[in-house]
A and B are shown apart, each in its own frame.
Chain A
């Protein structure tokens, strides 16, 4: 038998350079780094809040650094990107059938976007932004 199948490995550490869609996937996954880091910041904030008014004010003041601004920009991008990919995915995870037809995916995702916008406005309002 002269069979000698050639195995062309999928390069384990660089595969995501092969197609643009893989890069898009990886950037979605990378958002977790910033989300995670931001969560740590929230935990720290809670600790400060528990420690009393002075600690809390110091914490707020501490946010005002160049590093913090850069970090916030990144976190903002990451959370927005996460939100968009997540809402776009809902139509896949939970298709809704009404009668024979399925509700078009963009309606399901669209509804999520609307709910998201409303929720965000409510939070901003409660936080006294306007």
Chain B
């Protein structure tokens, strides 16, 4: 097995991974960086983000307001020291991107333009039409090309972390095109592997979002935090799950039920605002958890529109007019037209909530460090506790930048003075990986079909861990996922070739998703309250006495994981009422 020695390994070349790589290269050109990704960097799912990235820049805005919006939006489950650090770094990072060439939309005077976004009190979302994530990703990728110390390993599938003397010191990875296993030895590892939305059947997430990074850290002993908080985005296309960005509503789109009623007014987000004059933090600009939950209630009441793709509500943008739509929401128009055959200029689009984002992830502190020394994490795979129980739209893209960079700085600090890894000791771990893969290939008693298991997992997650949850359903979910994890040991590989074997990768991804799914279900069952994106029909109130705490889930091999808790850091904003009734009252 070939060994690649380097200083810092980054797993994942999406927004978070690339930002970390650039920060490493800029800060210390002597540090060698290995950037591993299972897809070419520009294919990473950051490219799908549409709406924009939040950072205080305009004179009428303030850090305090961004702080309050984020903490309240997260239903007080955010660590406030982390939020504090984040809001101050956010504008710097967005400006840095501007200096690197990101084509942000502009005001007439040449300054950057901002748009309103759900749950935000002020306009502070920087945007590049409705391809913000795409432009961020490509700007970062292209910028990274000028640094010779960043060695890229594109289409390498990372498998297991290598740990010696209690420190994370590397990772094993398969070169996808040759099928050869490699070991990377380093002094620090940063995981930036992205989310895990593919656990669910209906998701805005790309095929690559299978929680590998989370599972990798989890198996190596680092806890997963707050995994039960899964964000549903209220406006997905009902057939493909493609996202229609929140900017649709930010620009003035409205949500109506089959009777033409703007039903959000009935769920604590009213009173109605005039059509075409969106007001911040109310009605259509309420937070995602609340807006998605309102759909569920409408469904129960029979107020949804029945379409060939299932029960929907309508997103109406006709009043915005063709010019504004083309200028600000061209992608949305194209998507709705191509995949659904609806021209948003002329018709309201049927939509429904769709799994979008994982608030939870690898537990990290504000320095992006995990409890496992030498292991850092950033981006959607990490839970630095910025987003709490519900992420506000447009905070995530900035999180990638802020904590991607932070992870890099922490890693540099960590590697100072560390001796070179003990190759012999790490090889023991690498051999274990080799054995695991070898066993998968040579397994002759495989009985479980990979796509069959995947389907059962996705159905379980949708049925039992959806927008609203119950004890009964969650218990069923926990049992089922546990069973699937046992059955996964007998998963059968049909394709035994070495070259670009996607059957193999899908099987490995399924393993990651099952690990994550177990953490989600177990965490959700244990949290007997309703908070943010975690809503229980049997515990409808928020319970700050018992659950103003982070869920920490620890991997226990094939057994049911261990659940523990960690206190939330509260500095200046005690838990309060989330108010989305605008200025009315």
Contact = CB atoms under 8 A, between A and B. Distances in A.
A21 B220 CA distance: 55
Interface in B165-179: 177-179
Contacts of B497: 2
Contacts of A3: 177-178, 499
Nearest to A4: B499
A1 interface: yes
Interface in A1-16: 1-3
B498 interface: yes
Interface residues of A, number: 3
Contacts, number: 10
A3 B501 CA distance: 12
B98 interface: no
Contacts of B180: 1
A106 to B, nearest CB: 18
Nearest to A1: B178
A62 to B, nearest CB: 60
Contacts of B179: 2
Contacts of A2: 178-179, 497-499
A72 B180 CA distance: 66
A114 B179 CA distance: 61
A2 B178 CA distance: 6
B57 to A, nearest CB: 22
Contacts of B498: 2
Nearest to A5: B177
B397 to A, nearest CB: 26
B198 to A, nearest CB: 28
A116 B172 CA distance: 67
A1 B497 CA distance: 11
Nearest to A3: B178
Interface string A85-109: 0000000000000000000000000
Interface string A1-45: 111000000000000000000000000000000000000000000
Nearest to B179: A2
Contacts of A1: 178, 180
Contacts of B178: 1-3
A83 B499 CA distance: 51
Interface of B: 177-180, 497-499
Q: Top 4 nearest A-B pairs by Cβ distance?
A: A1-B178, A3-B178, A2-B498, A2-B499
Interface of A: 1-3
10 contacts: A1-B178, A1-B180, A2-B178, A2-B179, A2-B497, A2-B498, A2-B499, A3-B177, A3-B178, A3-B499
